[in-house]
Structure 1
Amino acid sequence: MSDLKDKVLLIGMPGCGKTTIGKLLATKLNYNFCDMDKYIEDISGETVKELFEKGEENFRKWENKACVKLSKKRRVIISSGGGVIKNEKNIDLFSEESIIIFIDRPLDNIIEDVDIEKRPLLSSGREKLYNIFQERYELYNKYCHIKIVNNGFIKDIIFEIQKELKERIRK
């Protein structure tokens, strides 16, 4: 896949599988992997939870700084935070030189197995997850180049993503 764009940005709801899928996809494509939330922690010196405790706007500022830096990296699969799409400037940084993949996982599946206590925006309960879904779903669809439904086995999802990437290269 040498004609693949330099970056693949995975977007989607918290708990949709971006990190798990991203790590496996990076291995298959011989790319580096970067979890954006971990990267934000590295450059800010604080945990995501600590950044959110100072306000969502504070976290989003750091998220944008991370996007600026990560958009310059090459040969990388980036697992974004679920809200990266809330700032169009973040997406603009990736839209030309990246392939943006929306990992669309059914909300019921996310609710069944995501520990919402470890997710700052979800810690107030499941109702918050439904609200976030309604707020963001249209944006995920708007900004993605490829949409993959994650409702099966991870190996099948990885295969489908690879197939979609090959199709994009042929065009």
Structure 2
Amino acid sequence: MANIVLIGMPGAGKTTIGRKLSKALGRPVLDADDKVVEQTGRTIKDLFQEGEDVFRQAETEAVKTLAALDGIIISCGGGVVKRPENIAYLQQNGKIFFLNRDLAAIAGSVDKVTRPLLNSAEDRLTQLYKERLPLYLKYADYTIPVDEDFDKTTKYIIELVRKAGL
């Protein structure tokens, strides 16, 4: 059974929708950032303090580990698309769903304390969105519009998963 891979900006709803999909489909949901912490024994913030490259390498190792599993839901960090090798791992046994949530809604929902790249507020969020949007669109098998009704979004993804035989 193929993996369901969720990508998108921080605050797009990957964690929440991942949990809802897990409950509805009876599949485990695993978070790539949690796997980074588990594998390194360090927080995301600590890794970023050594430099973004240090974190990105740890993220790649976590993605490689998760992508080798079967029939799971993988909730990825927002920057997973920055390394093509991450996408190659994820595509080996998964379909990628880009959760495309309005930037204004994201700005109102993100916790800037736990998200190192967003500490300099909305200007940085806009910059990240402009950098990442083309990558999200390039790598997505499915682009999912996300509004405030995460239940509706979850049901839509479930329909797509069932139609595709995932």
- Which residue in the other structure is 1:57 paired with? 53
Once residues 96 and 20 of structure 1 are traced to their aligned partners in structure 2, the CA distance between those partners, rounded to angstroms, is 25
- Which residue in the other structure is 1:10 paired with? 6
Alpha-carbon contact 2:64-2:90 (below 8 Å) kept: no
- Which residue in the other structure is 2:158 paired with? 162
Matching of residue 97 in structure 1 with residue 93 in structure 2 = yes
Runs of at least 5 residues in structure 2 that lack an aligned partner in the other structure: none
Once residues 136 and 92 of structure 2 are traced to their aligned partners in structure 1, the CA distance between those partners, rounded to angstroms, is 16
Alpha-carbon contact 2:36-2:58 (below 8 Å) kept: yes
Matching of residue 48 in structure 1 with residue 44 in structure 2 = yes
Once residues 139 and 116 of structure 1 are traced to their aligned partners in structure 2, the CA distance between those partners, rounded to angstroms, is 23
Alpha-carbon contact 2:146-2:153 (below 8 Å) kept: yes
Q: Provide Cα deviations, 1:136-162, integer angstroms capped at 9, x if missing partner.
A: 001001101111111131110110001
Deviation at 1:68, TM superposition (A): 1.1
Matching of residue 112 in structure 1 with residue 108 in structure 2 = yes
Percentage of pairs with the same residue: 36
Matching of residue 124 in structure 1 with residue 145 in structure 2 = no
Stretches of 4+ moved more than 6 A in 1?
none
TM-score by length of 2: 0.96
Q: Provide Cα deviations, 1:40-64, integer angstroms capped at 9, x if missing partner.
A: 0010000000000000000000001
Once residues 42 and 92 of structure 2 are traced to their aligned partners in structure 1, the CA distance between those partners, rounded to angstroms, is 30
3-state DSSP of counterpart to 1:116: coil
